[in-house]
Structure 1
Amino acid sequence: MLTAIIHGLVLAFGLILPLGVQNVFVFNQGITQPNFIRALPVIITASLCDTLLITLAILGVSIIVFGNPIIKLSILLIGIGFLIYMGYLTWKSKPNHQASEEKALSPKKQMAFAASVSLLNPHAIMDTIGVIGTSSLSYSGTEKRLFALSCIFVSWIWFFGLAFIGRMTGKFFDSRRFINIVNKISAIIMWCTAIYLATTL
């Protein structure tokens, strides 16, 4: 059982560590929100989306997705289009001179965007379903459940930590300039991800 737990922790951490669209958005909200509590909608939404993807992957959706080329192609095409569009919007967005409360996203917008960058990001879907789903086939019963819970635990801890680090970073740097840099990096990551996914078609 300990092997399943350690495997889940290490595997999930390795998958979530790269600076992807989802991570940059959660980090960005940690910066822009006036306090940490106001960033909870994005943290909880991103964590719940990861929980859903991990659960579906371990329940066997990976077999369905990777066994059906049409479904896989559809996910990739939708995701590529989404990443290109969101990259454009993020690149063009500029932090204004208003108060933090006015420029920060509302809870509903945080939740909607967090869900979209989580559930419409084919790279994350393929990683979760392909890697975690496939790895879970090594376990059964209690070990499989512990493996799943370990992966889910990493996601929740990671997003809380990421938003907190963003919040701390925003306190020590010029918020508007820093947000602008993060937005540019986020847009570039989205476009690079879209290009990479396009090469896999």
Structure 2
Amino acid sequence: MIAAAATGFFTGFSLILAIGAQNAFVLRQGLIGQHVFWLALFCAGSDAALIAAGVAGFGALTAALPALPLVMSLGGAAFLVVYGVSRLIAAWRGGHRLEAAGGGRALWPTLGIAAAFTWLNPHVYLDTLGLIGAVSTGFADPGPKLAFGGGAVGASFVFFFGLAYGARLLAPVMRSPRAWRGLDALIGVTMLAIAAKLIRGVL
């Protein structure tokens, strides 16, 4: 059981460790200290739901709906382009400070953006429904399989809460408007690069 849980934890952690659109958004919100708990809970909870579905055997969803990857890729790419361009514009205009950045979006719009980053990203489904679901088939007995799924879910909670709250360690650096412009530029370029990768993957 412990080995199965450890396998699930390290499998899940390795899949979400790479910097992506969702992680960059959580990092930024963590830096400004805005809706940190609810954002981390939403992202981790979304991962938990998808992981549970993958371990339960619903990884065949994309096989049953062959058009789903195309629809998700195009929708996700469009959203990433819009958000990425908005961050590049913010970087160009400048004027950000850590103290002033907290007066941004309300909770529900923030969670709406997080939902788009999460549920419009086809790689999320490939990682959770596909890869984690496939690895879970190596545990035939219900107990170890449940432990594997629990470990993967635990990795999501550790990662997102660690990223959201740990971002505040960078607060002294981010008091500089130049640092904010650099962060927004980096996030914008990252979003556009991911969008381009999604589009290339379906063309």
* TM-score for the superposition, normalised by structure 2: 0.87
The equivalent of 1:164 in structure 2 is: 165
Is contact 1:33-1:100 (8 Å) kept? no
Distance 1:20-1:116 versus aligned 2 partners, 3 A rule = same
Amino acid at match of 2:162: G
The equivalent of 2:48 in structure 1 is: 51
Q: CA deviation at 1:110?
A: 2.2
The reply to whether residue 184 of structure 1 matches residue 185 of structure 2 is: yes
* TM-score for the superposition, normalised by structure 1: 0.88
Separation in structure 1 between the aligned mates of residue 55 and residue 14 of structure 2, nearest angstrom: 17
What is the root-mean-square deviation of aligned Cα atoms in Å? 2.1
The equivalent of 1:143 in structure 2 is: 144
The equivalent of 2:57 in structure 1 is: 60
What is the identity percentage for the equivalent residue pairs of Structure 1 and Structure 2? 26
DSSP-derived class of the 2:59 partner: helix
Long gaps (5+) in structure 2: none
Is contact 1:96-1:103 (8 Å) kept? no
Amino acid at match of 1:8: G
The equivalent of 1:117 in structure 2 is: 117
Which shows bigger deviation, 165-174 or 44-53?
165-174
Deviations 1:115-170 (A, max 9, x none): 21111112222222221111112223111111111111011111111112211101
Deviations 1:25-69 (A, max 9, x none): 1111111126xxx41121111111111221222222211213432
The equivalent of 2:6 in structure 1 is: 6
Q: CA deviation at 1:85?
A: 1.9
Distance 1:183-1:73 versus aligned 2 partners, 3 A rule = same
Q: How many residues align?
A: 198
Separation in structure 2 between the aligned mates of residue 98 and residue 168 of structure 1, nearest angstrom: 12
Deviant stretches of 4+, over 6 Å: none
Distance 1:95-1:18 versus aligned 2 partners, 3 A rule = farther
Long gaps (5+) in structure 1: none
